[in-house]
Structure 1
Amino acid sequence: MKAIYKFLFLSLTAVVLYSCGAEQSELETKKAELESLQQEASSIQTKILQLESEIASLDPEFASQNKKSVLITTASAQRANFEHFVEVTGSVLSKKNVVISAETGGRILEIPAIEGMRVERGSVLARVDSESIQRNIDELETSLDLATMLFEKQKRLWDQEIGTEVQYLEAKNRKEGLERNLASLKTQLDKTIIRAPFTGTIESVDVRLGELVQPGMPMFQFVGESDLFIEADVSEAYVGVLSKGDSVQISFPSIGESLKTRVSSVGAIINPNNRTFKVEVFLPNMKMVKPNMLTVMKIKDYENDDSVIVPNHLILSDNKGDYVYIVQDGVAKKTYVKRGKTFNDNAEILEGLQGNETLVDKGFREVGDNFNVNIAQG
């Protein structure tokens, strides 16, 4: 019985394999037939086009009858001012981006400032313990009162020519020395109150309440709202193109704002790592602009006040060069051109057009040289 099952299984497998092989063979045969027919059709089409071309050259009437009219729209070449810009990414920086550090040692008693807070010039950011300084001031004021009284008495005696000049000068020197020491301590006392050096925003608070600080220890990152500028790295290929005072166009993608401003500084050194030089651009006060904001800088590197301009997408190319189709008496004419610079889908044409031609616009890929065309209305 097992032998019979085994025989049946092998027979069924053979039938399936044969069927799959037959289907595969039939598929390959059809693919080969299709490829052969495609090659034949291509060859026939080539011969048709060749015969049409030969007959058209011998029989102009046949040529005009054989041409199909293509529906198109048109665009005009223009003679106008052409400007080319280089787009460079930059960022907004502040000349008042500073780190505020402690000027005297002590324990922090108060931190009114918080991150992101906008403060006016002179606003208190933090207070450092000043008890020891205040005690020294109290002692010096007491000593100064005594020294002042003794000096005044000695001066009255000296005015009456009583006593020696040395006694008078010693009293005067002691009084003035205490005054200088007192002024120095009051300056130190004033430095225990950390204030905003100018109007701006607190970017970060780097200390905590109760922390012991030392002179020079960073406490706040502070950014001013004025003296903003834009900095960008420009390729060394544009050395000599930019100069101080040149006009540039700036846009802020994040807020949708743009403006025209001027170059305030051009770097004199090429960065060997990325082959660029620094360019700074003046930025007037703008409400929405913040330090480190991304900007796009458009720098004009070329201008021709009398050039022929056509839409760049209408220019095609073959092995002879660039060309466009112009419309003359209802016929599309293939015209070779020499293309210059391109910007914003506009191309400068150096040779081949005068600027008063009508170009094939929509449908320019369906027409050919000497094709009849119908211009769509409206």
Structure 2
Amino acid sequence: MKAIYKFLPLAVLVFAAACATDDSVEAKKAELEKLKAESQEINTQITELEAELVQLDPEFAKQNQKSLLITTVKAQKGEFEHYVEVTGSVLSKKNVIISSETVGRILEIPVNEGQVVPKGAVMARLDAESIQNSIDELQNSLDLATTLFEKQERLWNQQIGTEVQYLEAKNRKEGLERNLASARTNLDKTIVRAPFSGTIESVEVRLGELVQPGMSMFQFVGESDLFIEADISESYVGVLEKGDSVNVNFPSINKDLSTRVSSVGAIINPDNRTFKVEVFLPNLPMVKPNMISVLKIQDYENPEAVTIPSHLILSDNRGDYVFAVVEGKAKKTYVTRGKTFERQTEILEGLTGTETLVDKGFREVGDNFNVNIAQQ
């Protein structure tokens, strides 16, 4: 019993210490919650006060902006060229339809579609029996008429016979000569020949078929005198002239060449408001009529132009502008743009060509925003 009383004071002390510890923890928690509430209230007051100062003092807002991370690009000064890009088609001045010039049945077609033939090559032969018979008859008549004329001429030289007899003999002989020459010309027409060197695009008749004068027999395309024709918007009237340089690309054969404008049309097509332009085309083995080409015709050149990437130009109610980097800040700079080609725009006013412009991040910055240039 005495042992129990002996430890009783110690238990009381431990209990009192535990109660004191619990009171201290709760007090600290209460103090923490109080400070958090006060901090939140202070932050709210700071935010409200900053907003009021931004409204009252714009310089305060600029000084407290965070720096935006950006990249930059330099404005360029140098030669700038502008081209009109249009699609053209290869044509031939020797793309013709060969027709029959006489009546006859086709006896021979010694050529095929796609065949390349030289000038004068035989493309078809027609039945010429009736014409040959006429030639034989005319030749016999001419032989007789020539003999009679020669005898009559000798008599006339001896002052025998009348002048009428002499003139009739002469006229008959000359008339038969003309008829014979005409018959021989018709005989030549029974042989259809290539008018120039070229390619047979199509054969439109068959062996044994009877053809008439003017009937289409072959589509024939010459190997030379190719050119490119394109339709240009009427807005370029007076800008494009004969002799202007042209860059030509043939997408199907991946071929490029430089040439010139050979002819500019004088009439506007009322349907599409364009005019025709012809471009000289040198002889190229792989270029064929009706092949598609892309023309780049130079219509403007400035050897001292200031140019910048086109995507950097923004617009507002006042006009076009870009952001230039000046002493660590983005400065809104208004510009007057000129022509644009291949994602580069000519700047007529507002830049000198020495400026550093905001590139990546140009849509996030504003006038006088602090910027930090990233290492590129």
TM bucket, shorter chain: 0.7 to 0.9
CA contact (8 A) 1:337 1:351 kept: yes
Q: 1:305 to 1:205 in 2, by over 3 A?
A: same
- Cα displacement (A) at 1:50: 5.0
Displacement of 1:52: 9.4
**Which residue of structure 1 aligns with residue 348 of structure 2?**
350
The DSSP-based 3-state class of the residue aligned with 1:241 is coil
Q: Partners in 1 of 2:282 and 2:306 — Cα distance?
A: 36
1:169 corresponds to which residue? 167
Deviation at 1:178, TM superposition (A): 1.5
Q: CA–CA distance in 2 between the matches of 1:59 and 1:135?
A: 110
> Among 57, 60, 66, which residue is 2:59 paired with?
57
Deviates more, 1:288-297 or 1:242-251: 242-251
1:316 corresponds in structure 2 to: 314
| Separation (CA, whole Å) in 1 of partners of 2:216 and 2:50 | 82
| 4+ residue runs over 6 A deviation | 46-49
Q: Could you tell me how far apart the structure 2 residues matched to 1:157 and 1:204 are? A: 61
What's 2:201 paired with? 203
Match of 1:371 in 2: 370
2:182 counterpart residue number? 184
Please report how far the alpha carbon of residue 109 of structure 1 lies from its aligned counterpart in structure 2 after TM superposition.
0.5
1:77-135 CA-partner distances (Å, limit 9, x unpaired): 11223222222222111121111110000100111122211111111111110011111
Provide the rounded CA distance (Å) in 2 between the counterparts of 1:283 and 1:305.
Answer: 28
2:129 to 128, 131, 139: 131
Instruction: Name the CA distance, whole Å, in 2 between partners of 1:327 and 1:102.
Output: 77
1:257 is matched with 255
Deviations 1:286-333 (A, max 9, x none): 222211111222233333333210111222344554333333345444
Partner residue, 2:41: none
Amino acid at match of 1:171: A
Kept after mapping to 2: 8 A contact 1:337/1:352: yes
Q: Do residues 277 (structure 1) and 275 (structure 2) align?
A: yes
1:266-345 equivalence runs, <5 A = 266-318=264-316, 320-345=318-343
Q: Residue 367 of structure 1: CA displacement? A: 4.8
Matched residue SS, 1:143: helix
**Alignment: residue pair count:** 328
Larger radius of gyration: 2
Distance in 1, matches of 2:205 and 2:54, equals 87
In the alignment, the residues of structure 1 paired with residue 53 and residue 81 of structure 2 have an alpha-carbon distance, to the nearest angstrom, of 45
Where 1:310 maps in the other structure, the secondary structure is: strand
Q: Deviations over 1:335-372 (max 9, x none)?
A: 33232221100011122211011223344445554333
Question: Which residue of the other structure, out of 94, 97, 106, is the alignment partner of 1:96?
Answer: 94
**TM-score between the two structures when normalised by the length of structure 1:** 0.78
1:308–1:319 distance in 2 versus 1, CA, 3 Å: same
Distance 1:75 1:106, change over 3 A: same
Corresponding position of 2:14: none
The 3 A distance-change label for structure 1 pair 374 and 274 is closer
2: CA distance, partners of 1:53 / 1:81 = 46
Q: Quick one: which amino acid aligns to residue 177 of structure 2?
A: E
Structure 2 residue runs of 5 or longer lacking an equivalent are: 1-46
Query: SS of the residue aligned with 1:265?
Result: strand
Could you tell me whether the CA contact under 8 Å between 1:151 and 1:168 is conserved in 2?
A: yes
Counterparts of 1:59 and 1:319 in 2: how far apart (Å)? 24
Once the two structures are superposed, residues 252-298 of structure 1 have per-residue CA deviations (whole angstroms, 9 ceiling, x without a partner) of 22222233333232222222222222222222222222111112222
The alignment's C-alpha RMSD in Å is 2.8
Please give the secondary structure, in 1, of the residue aligned with 2:276.
strand
Structure 1: how far apart are the matches of 2:243 and 2:196?
28
Mean Cα displacement is larger for which, 160-169 or 277-286?
Answer: 160-169
Higher mean displacement: 341-350 or 311-320: 311-320
Whole-angstrom distance in 2 between the partners of 1:56 and 1:270: 58
Aligned 8 A contact 1:261 1:283 in 2: yes
The CA distance in 2 between the partners of 1:113 and 1:234, in whole Å, is: 40
Q: Is the 8 A contact 2:70 2:358 kept in 1?
A: no
- Cα drift, residue 47 of structure 1: 7.5
Partner of 2:66: 67
Question: Structure 1: how far apart are the matches of 2:60 and 2:107?
Answer: 104
**3-state SS of paired residue (1:242):** coil
Larger mean Cα displacement after TM superposition, 227-236 or 366-375: 366-375
In structure 2, the partner of 1:153 is 151
CA contact (8 A) 1:84 1:303 kept: yes
TM-score (norm 2): 0.78
Distance 2:223 2:294 in 1: 21
Quick one: structure 1 residues 150 and 318, their matched pair in 2 at CA, closer, same or farther if it must change by over 3 Å?
A: same
For the Cα contact (< 8 Å) 1:102–1:215, is it kept in 2?
yes
Determine which of 111, 116, 119 is the counterpart of 1:113: 111
Q: Check 1:58–1:329 CA distance in 2 against 1; reply closer, same or farther (3 A cut).
A: closer
- Residue 139 of structure 1 deviates from its aligned partner by 1.6
Q: Which amino acid aligns with 1:244?
A: K
Question: Cα distance, 1:157 vs. partner?
Answer: 3.1
Post-superposition CA distance 1:23-43 (Å, at most 9, x none) = xxxxxxxxxxxxxxxxxxxxx
Task: Give the match for residue 242 of structure 2.
Answer: 244
